[in-house]
């Protein structure tokens, strides 16, 4: 009798949840796989398979400020894993306290492995290629490939760890970037939203469900879709100009396309848009409705969508700040110039 009642209840809940789940699926929304094996198929790089040794080494390099010319900036400076994978300022700040010359905001590194394009103009296809950019960029870490290799090879502990991770493979700038990227491939944040898409009707509150339905009905999934709810290249300002377009000179790639930011952990990654000009989710939601969809999103609808965004707050991997190798007499000295 109890089993029959339980089955009846489960069936009723499943049937009740079916329409919204079906709508989400039809809109192209995809959950992060719950099974590690399935997730690994999406996050691994067959050309450089993930291993524990590579991830641990990549984590150290991600946090190591000595890779920068000044010795003060690490990957974590702009992609702070403690604050949603971002720095929380409108434009990224780099070498010699230089704001990004195009007034570009730092995108989150969490779930970047799911993006089809990296950087706001989509110029890199994956996290491996992307990792090479900020290290060398003058207004960011301002280092050279030679500096990176000299820093790493000057420390016997790093040399030992590279040998453990890669065998006799020579330490190159590209390998250092690949190793950082391997760590970044593990920065995945499954959320209550994923459980809902996988069939758990109780994973979202009634308000969050209403927000998800509004999000779909308004057409937001035209751009914010897939596992990352973003990460693809799309036109920007489709039906009206972005009201803060004058801040910075970024116009997208050669075709005027801009990378769609992920909505995962969006409640933790303010300020918003490529130039960090909008500080609240309410304004960001309503501005997107105006310039991309040509629709008015009311305060109530924006509040519901914002509530839905709360279900995208994912569980972050446990990150223990690593103890880094000590410098030696041959380690390049910090250069503030």
CATH of the domain at 296: 1.10.760.10
Counted domains in the chain? 2
Q: What is the pLDDT confidence band of residue 3, given thresholds at 50, 70 and 90?
A: very low
Which of 76, 67, 86, 90 is CA-nearest to residue 141? 67
Report yes or no: 100 and 137 within 8 Å, Cβ to Cβ: no
131/162 same-domain check? yes
In a domain, 149, yes or no: yes
Domain boundary among 164, 184, 204: 184
104/196 same-domain check? no
In a domain, 320, yes or no: no
In a domain, 220, yes or no: yes
97/156 same-domain check? yes
75/167 same-domain check? yes
23/149 same-domain check? no
In a domain, 326, yes or no: no
Q: Are strands 98-99 and 233-235 parallel, antiparallel or unpaired?
A: unpaired
Tokens standing for residue 297: 């999103």
Count of beta carbons in the 10 Å neighbourhood of residue 315: 11
Question: How many percent of the chain have pLDDT more than 70?
Answer: 95
107/160 same-domain check? yes
Tokens 């089809």 appear where? 116
For residue 258, the cross-strand partners are 234
Domain boundary among 134, 149, 184: 184
Using CA atoms, how far apart are residues 274 and 88, in angstroms rounded to an integer?
Answer: 13
Domain with 117, as residue range(s), is 39-184
107/236 same-domain check? no
195/274 same-domain check? yes
Rounded to 5 degrees, φ, ψ at 175 are -70, -35
How much is the pLDDT for 12?
Answer: 39
In a domain, 259, yes or no: yes
Tokens standing for residue 16: 């009740």
Instruction: Annotate 128-151 with b (16+ C-beta within 10 A) or e (fewer).
Output: bbbbbebbbbebbbbbeeebbbeb
Q: What is the pLDDT confidence band of residue 17, given thresholds at 50, 70 and 90?
A: low
In a domain, 81, yes or no: yes
51/178 same-domain check? yes
125/235 same-domain check? no
Instruction: Annotate 76-101 with b (16+ C-beta within 10 A) or e (fewer).
Output: bbbbbbeebbbbeebbbbbbeeeebe
Give pLDDT tens digits for 309-337: 999 999 999 999 999 999 999 999 999 99
Give pLDDT tens digits for 215-269: 999 999 999 999 999 999 999 999 999 999 999 999 999 999 999 999 999 999 9
How remote is the C-alpha of 238 from its chain's centroid?
Answer: 24
Beta strand residue intervals within 256-327, DSSP E? 257-259
- Residues labelled as active-site residues: 140
In a domain, 10, yes or no: no
31/44 same-domain check? no
In a domain, 323, yes or no: no
213/140 same-domain check? no
Using CA atoms, how far apart are residues 134 and 140, in angstroms rounded to an integer?
Answer: 6
Q: Which residues have a Cβ under 8 Å from the Cβ of 163 and sit 6 or more positions away?
A: none
């Amino acid at each position: 009798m109890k089993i029959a009642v339980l089955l009846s209840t489960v069936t009723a809940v499943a049937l009740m949840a079916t329409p919204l789940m079906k709508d989400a699926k039809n809109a192209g929304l995809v959950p992060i796989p719950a099974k590690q094996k399935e997730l690994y198929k999406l996050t691994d790089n067959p050309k450089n398979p993930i291993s524990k040794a590579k991830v641990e080494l990549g984590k150290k390099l991600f946090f190591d400020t000595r890779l920068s010319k000044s010795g003060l900036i690490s990957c974590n400076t702009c992609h702070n894993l403690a604050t949603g994978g971002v720095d929380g300022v409108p434009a990224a700040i780099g070498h010699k306290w230089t704001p990004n010359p195009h007034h570009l905001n730092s995108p989150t590194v969490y779930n970047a492995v799911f993006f089809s394009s990296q950087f706001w103009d989509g110029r890199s296809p994956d996290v491996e290629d992307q990792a090479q950019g900020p290290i060398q960029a003058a207004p960011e870490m301002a280092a050279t490939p030679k500096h990176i290799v000299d820093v790493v090879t000057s420390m016997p502990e790093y040399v030992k760890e590279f040998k453990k991770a890669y065998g006799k493979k020579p330490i190159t700038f590209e390998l250092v970037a690949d190793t950082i990227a391997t760590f970044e491939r593990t920065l995945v944040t499954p959320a209550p939203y994923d459980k809902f898409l996988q069939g758990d009707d109780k994973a979202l509150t009634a308000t969050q469900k209403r927000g998800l339905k509004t999000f779909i009905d308004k057409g937001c999934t035209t751009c914010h879709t897939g596992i990352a709810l973003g990460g693809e290249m799309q036109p920007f300002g489709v039906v009206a100009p972005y009201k803060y377009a004058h801040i910075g000179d970024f116009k997208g790639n050669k075709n005027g396309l801009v990378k769609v930011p992920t909505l995962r952990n969006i409640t933790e990654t303010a300020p918003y848009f490529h130039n960090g000009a909008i500080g609240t989710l309410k304004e960001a939601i309503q501005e997107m409705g105006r310039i991309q969809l040509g629709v008015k999103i009311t305060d109530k609808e924006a509040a519901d969508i914002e509530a839905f965004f709360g279900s995208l707050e994912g569980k972050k991997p446990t990150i223990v700040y690593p103890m880094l190798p000590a410098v030696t007499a041959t380690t390049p000295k910090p250069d503030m110039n």
